[in-house]
Amino acid sequence: MAAPQDHSNLIWQIADLLRGPYRPPQYERVMLPLTVLRRFDCVLASTKEKVLADYAKRKGGKLNDDALDRYLNKAAGQRFHNHSPLNFAKLRDDPDHIEKHLVSYIKGFSSNVRTIFEYFEFESEIEKMREADILYLVVSKFAEVDLHPDRVPNPQMGLIFENLIRRFNELANETAGDHFTPREVIRLMVHILFSHDDHLLATRDTVRKLLDPACGTGGMLAEAQTYLREHHQGARLFTYGQDYNKRAFATAASDMLMKEVDQNAALDTVRFGDIFTEDRFPNDKFDYLLANPPFGVDWKKQFRVVDDEHRRLGFQGRFGAGLPRVNDGSFLFLQHMVSKFEPVSPTEHKIGSRLALVFSGSPLFSGGAGSGESEIRRWIIEQDWLEAIVALPEQMFYNTGIGTYIWIVTNRKERRRKGKVQLVDARDYFIPMERSLGDKRRKIGEGRDGEPDQISEIVRLYHSPQSTKLTKLLDNADFGYTRVVIERPLRLSYQMTVERKTRFLDACPHLLEDVQAVDAEIGRELLSDWNVIKDRFEQTLERRKSKWKTSEIQLFRNVFTQPDPAAAAVNEDVGPTKFEADPALRDYENVPLTEKIENYFTREVAPNLPDAWMNRAKDTVGYEISFNRYFYNPPSTRPLAKIDEDLKKAQEEFMRHLKEIIS
């Protein structure tokens, strides 16, 4: 029995035939569909004649397509069938009509496989290869690859397929981040997600459900199943996925259909659609959820539908906590996943759910108090669902070198974690790669081929019961703050000038005589107390029995005054404060939830701004998560004496060279 690597290499060599008509990042458009097609061809070989006989007997009868598919699938002994008389061997017999025969062969499959190839958009690739005169050669080479289950069992076929997906996505590293996560990152996520539940999964015949709502090519689903096979063979994990990328969806659906899983046909478990606008699992709850949603995904196109659900359904829908900015939909993925949580109900044998997903740094802190992002963080933390965040090394992903973070969210925290959030600093747990793949220059050691087992080390940090240098267990309230508005008095000086007078009368010419009277009464000196000026202004109008509109009075003040820090504070006519606030001097203070606001104001604000006051009517609670606050290590500074010594040596060296030049 050949090793999976040998078959992968053989298929990889066939990809070289595409060079020219295809660029390397485009190889997957041909190679993945043909690998799927060849595997299906080999799987169905032993029952081919039985299926053809059954099809000949039943076609044209009263059975609809779905019923006919069920009968023929049963005859094939699989969850799919092919009732075309063609196979790869026969496709090689007629090179002049290879295009027509290949299309006919694909159309002979059951509807679930035909749908997969529609999403692969493979007919256009068939035409492209025909025009380049490589179609027959590529199909012939695939016919030589023996993928029969007797030689390649389903687990090995899964490894072959995963290996090819990884290779092709590495070639396409400029877009790989949209649908491909480095395997060691997935392994770390899966270990953290499941290691907490080893006691549950060790129960024989236990069944669990897992969803990846941004499943891409299915790497996370495959890795989760691998973990269960390696650690809990008695447990069964049903995996489900959704994706909006057609080729990625088709790849994931094919992978699921190839494997022996205790589930229905692939299109029931991996579904196509945009989760922002179309939840393809609307009534399902899951025990586990995994995802690596695209970083900074724009959701302008989906805004109308998402905003409607948010406003109309609130927390009865998926986006009740709030909406993030339209240029980053990360928190929409998180809220969608939380909406899939199984509730905790011991009487109904429901134990809740756990999720792990990868975010960039933006969801940690973007958006101030009251913003959509802050409200979502507040909701997650105040519900006591945020369990841990693990900071990963930079340069880990194929299309970006930015720092990334694994969020662990659950509605069933263990007792020691209640009311707490754990931060794990794993940014230094990496080894350099021998060859960079796009922006990916580092990987987390997996304990294979001489690598350190850094995944296990990070998992141990996650399980650490106490705060250490690399892990902090903090109270939920440590991440919250109250945004307090700090006001300072408005100070205005008054002066009537010809220019200002002209400007005011241009807007209110009917007030000419009143303005002349004010001019005569108050004069044109610069005066620094608007309160006094206002009284004299009102007295002048009262003597003249003139009544101005509120807007005219406000315009008068705007035109004839200017801010002046040396002027007297303007008294407040109404309201709880003594003075009118100056909007230009308005400031904000973020006061930690763990501190009393009055004490903070007295200690931090009042000494520097003795005339300031707090406008508590505008208090807003916000939440943000700052890793640097807890893990920042400032660079070591040298003593000043040492710096002076080095500068003196440099100066002496400079003077020596200068003398040599002059002499």
- Interval 445-503: pLDDT, tens: 999 888 999 999 999 999 998 899 999 999 999 999 999 999 999 999 999 999 999 99
**CATH annotation of 1-172:** 1.20.1260.30
User: What value does the mean pLDDT take over residues 615-633?
Assistant: 91
User: What value does the mean pLDDT take over residues 389-402?
Assistant: 88
Largest Cα separation within the chain, whole Å, is: 112
Distance from C-alpha of 431 to C-alpha of 399, rounded to nearest angstrom: 18
Task: Out of 143-147, 162-166, 333-337, pick the least confident.
Answer: 162-166
User: What value does the mean pLDDT take over residues 600-607?
Assistant: 93
Instruction: Give Cα 414 distance to the centre of its chain.
Output: 26
Q: Which of the four pLDDT bands, split at 50, 70 and 90, describes residue 652?
A: confident
CB 297 within 8 A of CB 275: no
Distance from C-alpha of 95 to C-alpha of 113, rounded to nearest angstrom: 25
CA geometry: angle 18, 22, 25, nearest 5 deg? 105
Residue 5's pLDDT is: 66
| SS3 state of residue 380 | helix
Residue 64's pLDDT is: 87
Among 410, 397, 187, 201, CA closest to 289: 410
Residue predicted with more confidence, 296 or 457: 457
DSSP codes of every residue in 485-520: EEE-B-BEEE---HHHHHHHHHH-GGGHHHHHHHHH
Residue 660's pLDDT is: 74
Residue 641: CB atoms within 10 A of its CB come to 8
Residue 185's pLDDT is: 94
Given a cut of 70, whether residue 635 has pLDDT beyond it is: no
DSSP codes of every residue in 280-310: SSTT--BSEEEE-PPTT---TTTHHHHHHHH
Structure tokens of 407?
């969020």
Q: Which amino acid is at 324?
A: P
Phi and psi angles of residue 340, each rounded to the nearest 5 degrees, phi first: -95, 5
The count of residues in the chain is 663
Distance from C-alpha of 242 to C-alpha of 361, rounded to nearest angstrom: 24
Within 122-244, strands assigned E span 207-212, 236-243
CB 389 within 8 A of CB 365: no
Residue 265's pLDDT is: 45
Structure tokens of 331?
């928190």
Residue 210's pLDDT is: 96
Q: Which of the four pLDDT bands, split at 50, 70 and 90, describes residue 248?
A: confident
Residue by residue, what is the 3-state secondary structure of 25-82?
HHCHHHHHHHHHHHHHHHHCHHHHHHHHHHHHHHCCCCCCHHHHHHHHHHHHCCCCCE
Residue 4's pLDDT is: 58
List, for residues 28-69, the tens digit of each pLDDT value.
899 999 999 999 999 999 999 999 999 999 887 778 888 999
Give the position of tokens 């000494």. 607
Q: How buried is 371 (Cβ within 10 angstroms: 0-12 exposed, 13-18 middle, 19+ buried)?
A: middle
User: What value does the mean pLDDT take over residues 103-108?
Assistant: 96
Whole-angstrom CA distances from 48 to 104, 150, 254 are 16, 16, 20
Given a cut of 90, whether residue 175 has pLDDT beyond it is: no
Half-sphere exposure of 419 (CA within 13 A, CB side): 3
Residue 49's pLDDT is: 95
Given a cut of 70, whether residue 244 has pLDDT beyond it is: yes
Domain range summary for the chain, segments of one domain joined by +: 1-172, 492-563
Given a cut of 70, whether residue 574 has pLDDT beyond it is: no
**Which residues, other chains included, contact 158 with Cβ-Cβ below 8 Å and sequence gap of 6+?**
222, 255, 258, 259
Question: Any idea what DSSP says for residue 480?
Answer: E
Structure tokens of 390?
């693990």
Given a cut of 50, whether residue 577 has pLDDT beyond it is: yes
Among 403, 444, 437, 7, CA closest to 186: 444
Distance from C-alpha of 125 to C-alpha of 118, rounded to nearest angstrom: 12
Q: Which of the four pLDDT bands, split at 50, 70 and 90, describes residue 176?
A: very low
Bridge partners, residue 489, by sequence: 581
Q: Which of the four pLDDT bands, split at 50, 70 and 90, describes residue 2?
A: low
**Which residues, other chains included, contact 138 with Cβ-Cβ below 8 Å and sequence gap of 6+?**
14, 17, 18, 30, 34, 129
CA-based end-to-end distance of the chain: 82
Distance from C-alpha of 528 to C-alpha of 65, rounded to nearest angstrom: 90
Among 443, 359, 349, 324, CA closest to 395: 443
Q: Which of the four pLDDT bands, split at 50, 70 and 90, describes residue 663?
A: low
Residue 154's pLDDT is: 78
Residue 397's pLDDT is: 85
Distance from C-alpha of 59 to C-alpha of 605, rounded to nearest angstrom: 84
Given a cut of 90, whether residue 439 has pLDDT beyond it is: no
Given a cut of 50, whether residue 177 has pLDDT beyond it is: no
Given a cut of 70, whether residue 1 has pLDDT beyond it is: no
3-state helix, strand, coil split of the chain in percent (to 5) is: 50, 15, 35
Structure tokens of 551?
């807007």
Give the position of tokens 């209640």. 418
Would you state the torsion angle of the CA atoms of residues 631, 634, 636, 640, taken in this order, to the nearest 10 degrees?
A: -150
Among 156, 141, 150, CA closest to 38: 141
| SS3 state of residue 222 | helix
pLDDT over 70 percentage in the chain: 95
Residue 134's pLDDT is: 95
Output the average pLDDT for the chain: 90
CA geometry: angle 355, 361, 366, nearest 5 deg? 105
Considering the entire predicted model, what is its pTM?
Answer: 0.86
Given a cut of 60, whether residue 166 has pLDDT beyond it is: yes
Task: Out of 53-62, 260-269, 494-503, 528-537, pick the least confident.
Answer: 260-269
Q: Which of the four pLDDT bands, split at 50, 70 and 90, describes residue 164?
A: confident
Residue 271's pLDDT is: 93
Structure tokens of 288?
């586990």
CB 43 within 8 A of CB 149: yes
Given a cut of 50, whether residue 525 has pLDDT beyond it is: yes
Distance from C-alpha of 385 to C-alpha of 561, rounded to nearest angstrom: 54
Q: Which of the four pLDDT bands, split at 50, 70 and 90, describes residue 290?
A: very high
Residue 356's pLDDT is: 97
Residue 135's pLDDT is: 96
